[in-house]
Amino acid sequence: MKVCMVGTGYIGLVSGACFAEIGHEVVCVDNDTQKINMLNKGEIPIFEPGLGEMVKKNVRAGRLSFTTDIRKGIEQSLFIFIAVGTPPKASGEADLSGIEHVATEIGTAMVEYRIIVEKSTVPVLTGRRLRTMIEKSCTRDIEFDVASNPEFLREGAAVNEFLCPDRIVLGVESKKAEQRLLELYKPINAPKIVTDIASAELIKLTSNAFLSTKISFINAVSVLCEKTGADIVKVAEGMGMDKRIGRAFLNAGVGYGGSCFPKDLKAFISMSSELGYDFRLLKEVERINEDQMLRVVKKAEESLQYLRGRTIGILGLAFKPNTDDMRDAPSITVIKALQKAGAVVKAYDPAAIERAKKMMKGIDYCRDLYETADGVDAIILVTEWDEFKQMDLERVRRTMRKPVFIDGRNVFEPKKMKDLGFIYCGIGR
Ligand SMILES: NC(=O)c1ccc[n+]([C@@H]2O[C@H](COP(=O)([O-])OP(=O)(O)OC[C@H]3O[C@@H](n4cnc5c(N)ncnc54)[C@H](O)[C@@H]3O)[C@@H](O)[C@H]2O)c1
């Protein structure tokens, strides 16, 4: 089947490559000429395990191509997926200008039946808006369907999660769109839930809001653990054994970040308020998360008495391991707070340094973790890359000026770290 993916970012590129991988003919469109030129030269603009090989393989097979010409994509494809960004406005509300722009282009270029699918994360009832906008810009009377197919994949494991998802959500307004979408996804063996468009839009928003809530819940409990001597890892393990609760997303740490949770939660709160409901529960989830990022800075300050003039080594800049995505990464909040308190910051990340350099100045970016540890008064581990889990701890401790280790992801065992001579602080243990 023929697919046009408008927006070739993290989601568009992964989805486009995976649709090609399962046998469809895909054209990925982006208005960023530099990105499309890179892709046409065989260069992958993002770090995502397995993606490069998959893109190259499908380009060679003639199933995947890249263009800046949206008309071409619309003309040749039955499905037009919209996967452009939906960043937050200053008010927190989702900025839908990218989607609106694409809707107008679709309306103008469409000459026969098309299924226009929201892949981007959008507020509930955007599907309805999309239909109106396409109708307005369409000069002829052409039948089309709007559908919602939210994406749940996680960066760092995106390819695998697209091809083996927990579920595929299809929000449709006609039997025809349902049948075609089910056919498109037929090669993927996963439960498929078909709903109306508004429910599909809400499934995505509520899933992210709920996962953020789980993280803030366990982070709040970690404060109680620190006050009582209980161990958050054991508490989470014991809670998670209850099937109604589940162990996933109960890891206390420096808080959630990334391109989705913070922005989607803000948009959800704003959307609820517009609909006349004050979602105070989620406002608190946000507040707990903001506090949590600063708690590691407080721990460093308590261990060192003061931060002014101290050198702090940051391990991990990306918002999570196996990605170079720096959007709303907790490391940014942590580093800004350290710099504000007068600390000197050294930092290392296996994949995100180039992106971080564009966003944060005044940092001594290092080539590896050992260079980062050299001469510092404290280390704060922010992102749990495997490379850090396997570090030579004795070597690290020997090169540090003071052996303060703030483990923002509870990667190490407190007893082992203390036995090695570290002044060790985890989260909630
Ligand atoms: N990144 C994730 O893990 C993830 C997961 C699920 C859902 N989402 C959602 O998917 C959407 C896209 O996210 P992303 O992370 O891929 O963003 P991104 O910024 O990486 O990609 C968006 C792409 O769209 C392009 N674009 C913008 N306007 C365009 C236009 N008018 N025509 C053509 N291309 C245009 C941009 O140049 C960019 O390449 C967002 O709504 C996001 O919330 C993201």
Task: Quickly list DSSP for 227-238.
Answer: HHT--HHHHHHH
Q: Cβ–Cβ contacts within 10 Å for residue 60, how many?
A: 10
Please, are residues 364 and 354 in contact by the beta-carbon 8 Å criterion? no
Please, are residues 186 and 209 in contact by the beta-carbon 8 Å criterion? no
Measured from the Cα of 263, ligand 1's closest atom is 43
Q: Ligand 1 centre and the CA of 83: distance in Å?
A: 5
Q: Ligand 1 centre and the CA of 281: distance in Å?
A: 28
Q: Ligand 1 centre and the CA of 353: distance in Å?
A: 21
Is residue 418's pLDDT more than 90? yes
Task: Look at residues 303, 281, 302 and name the one whose alpha carbon lies nearest to residue 220.
Answer: 281
CA–CA separation, 236 and 296 (whole Å): 20
Residue 79's DSSP bridge partners are 3, 115
The edge-to-edge listing of strands for the beta sheet with 64-67 is 64-67, 25-29, 2-6, 79-82, 114-118, 144-148, 168-171, 192-195
CA–CA separation, 15 and 118 (whole Å): 12
Model confidence pLDDT, tens digit, residues 255-274: 999 989 999 999 999 999 99
CA–CA separation, 135 and 130 (whole Å): 8
Nearest CA to ligand 1 atom 37: 32
Would you state the pLDDT for residue 139? 85
Percent of the chain with pLDDT over 70: 100
Enumerate the active-site residues. 260
Model confidence pLDDT, tens digit, residues 367-400: 999 999 999 999 999 999 999 999 999 999 999 9
Q: Cβ–Cβ contacts within 10 Å for residue 193, how many?
A: 13
Output the ligand 1 site: residues, CB below 6 A.
6-12, 29-32, 35, 83-86, 98, 101-102, 120-121, 151, 153, 155, 259-260
Would you state the pLDDT for residue 162? 98
Q: How sure is the predictor about 36, in pLDDT bands with cuts at 50, 70 and 90?
A: very high
Sign of CA dihedral 360, 366, 371, 375: negative
Q: Ligand 1 centre and the CA of 36: distance in Å?
A: 14
What mean pLDDT do residues 357-374 have? 98
Q: What is the pTM of this model?
A: 0.94
Nearest CA to ligand 1 atom 12: 85
Model confidence pLDDT, tens digit, residues 197-255: 999 999 999 999 999 999 999 999 999 999 999 999 999 999 999 999 999 999 999 99
Model confidence pLDDT, tens digit, residues 288-311: 999 999 999 999 999 999 999 999
User: Domains in the chain, please, with CATH?
Assistant: 2-195 (3.40.50.720), 208-425 (3.40.50.720)
CA–CA separation, 6 and 134 (whole Å): 15
Q: Report CA-CA distances (Å) from 170 to 173, 179, 192, 227.
A: 10, 10, 7, 46
Model confidence pLDDT, tens digit, residues 96-153: 999 999 999 999 999 999 999 999 999 999 999 999 999 999 988 999 999 999 999 9
Model confidence pLDDT, tens digit, residues 42-75: 999 999 999 999 999 999 999 999 999 999 999 9
Measured from the Cα of 121, ligand 1's closest atom is 41
